[in-house]
Amino acid sequence: MTHDVLDGHYVYLYRDPKSGKPIYVGYGKRASRAFSHVGGKSHNKDLNDFLRLGRYQIDVVGPFGDKDDALRAETLLVSALNPLCNIHQGKSVWRFRPLGLPPQFADRRDLPAINEAEIKALGRECGGVLCVLLNQKDFSDGRKGYDASRPMANDDLTSRAVAWWQLAARAKDWVSGETRGPSLLLALFGPPAARFVVGAWSIAPWTTWDGKVESGGLISVPIVENKDLDAKKLRGRRLESNSEAFLFGQFRHQQFIIFDGKGVRHGGVVRDA
C-alpha cells in the first residue's frame, strides 16, 4: 500500500513548469487531493483558468503528523511564495511577517537605510532628534521588554520608549529655553548590524514636561499623542549597518543619542580615533 492511499496530511503546490512561478498551495488528507482541481473541478476560478492552459506541475510534501502541522506548512508556503491563485492566507500566527514590526510597515524595510547625514539633517529640520535604544529586558515597574517576534501594543511600546532616560539636567535647560530641546523621539531596536526604528513620536513642548525626576536623573519624555507611532513616517526604517552615529553603551548616559538643531551628536558612545 502506498502513501498516496493512506491518510497522512499533505501539502501540494501547483506551479508553472516553465517559469517556476507558484500558482496555488493546498492541503489534503491524502496526496491524491492534489489532483482534485484538474479538469475545472476547483471552486477557485483563477486556478481553473490557469489549469485550462494545460501547463502545470504539481509537487507534494508529507505526510505530516497531523492536520495542524500540515496547515502550518501550507500557510508558511502561501505567505512566503505569494501564489497567484490563493484566496485564503491561513492563520496570521503561522504567516511570515516582518521581524519586529506590524505588517503595515513592512515595506519601509526596503527603503534606503537612515545614515548619519540623514539623521543630522532631520535634527536640523525639526530642532533635534532624541534616539533611545530598547532591549528585551522586563522592568519591575511593569514595562515589558521589546519582543521582535511579537511586537507589543502601541500603548505598551510608548510607555517603554518615553521612560526612563538620564536627561534631567538637559531637560531643565530645555524648559528654561537656555538650549532648544529635541522635538522628535525615535525608539530603536536590534543589534548594530540590523537596527531599525520601532516607533517615532513628536515630542511635546518641553515647557509641558511634568518635572518629575527619578533617582539618577531619570525622566519621562513628554510626547504628542500618536496612534500610529509613526512621526515623520519613520517607523520601520532601517539604520545604516554598524554606523557609529547610532552607537550606544551600557551606562545610562550612553543609552540615548541626541542630534541637536545644529546636527551635532550628543550622548551614546564615541570611539577613539
pLDDT of residue 23: 96
Average pLDDT for the chain: 92
Beta bridge partners of 132: 187, 256
What's the pTM? 0.78
Sequence-distant (≥ 6) Cβ neighbours of residue 241 within 8 angstroms: 113, 192, 193, 194, 195
Alpha-helical segments (H) within 39-189: 45-51, 67-81, 116-126, 154-162, 168-176
If you search the block for the grid coordinates 519586529, which residue do you land on?
100
Q: What is residue 214's DSSP assignment? A: B
> pLDDT digit string (tens) for 103-134?
888 888 889 999 999 999 999 999 999 999 99
Q: Residue 1's pLDDT band (boundaries 50, 70, 90)?
A: very low
Q: Which H or E run contains 107?
A: none
Domains and CATH numbers, the chain: 3-94 (3.40.1440.10), 103-267 (no CATH)
Query: Please, are residues 218 and 209 in contact by the beta-carbon 8 Å criterion?
Result: no
> pLDDT digit string (tens) for 20-64?
999 999 999 999 999 999 987 788 999 999 999 889 999 999 999
Other Cβ atoms less than 10 A from the Cβ of 67: the count is: 11
Q: Which of 179-188, 208-217, 263-272 has the lowest mean pLDDT?
A: 263-272
Beta bridge partners of 265: 259
pLDDT of residue 6: 58
In whole angstroms, what is the distance from residue 94 CA to residue 27 CA? 15
pLDDT of residue 104: 87
Is 59 in a helix, a strand, or coil? strand
> pLDDT digit string (tens) for 139-152?
998 898 998 888 88
Q: Residue 272's pLDDT band (boundaries 50, 70, 90)?
A: low
Compute the average pLDDT of residues 193-220: 96
Cell numbers standing for residue 47 = 486556478
Cell numbers standing for residue 116 = 548619519
In whole angstroms, what is the distance from residue 161 CA to residue 202 CA? 12
pLDDT over 50 (residue 223): yes
pLDDT over 50 (residue 3): no
Sequence-distant (≥ 6) Cβ neighbours of residue 101 within 8 angstroms: 108, 109, 151, 196, 198, 235, 236
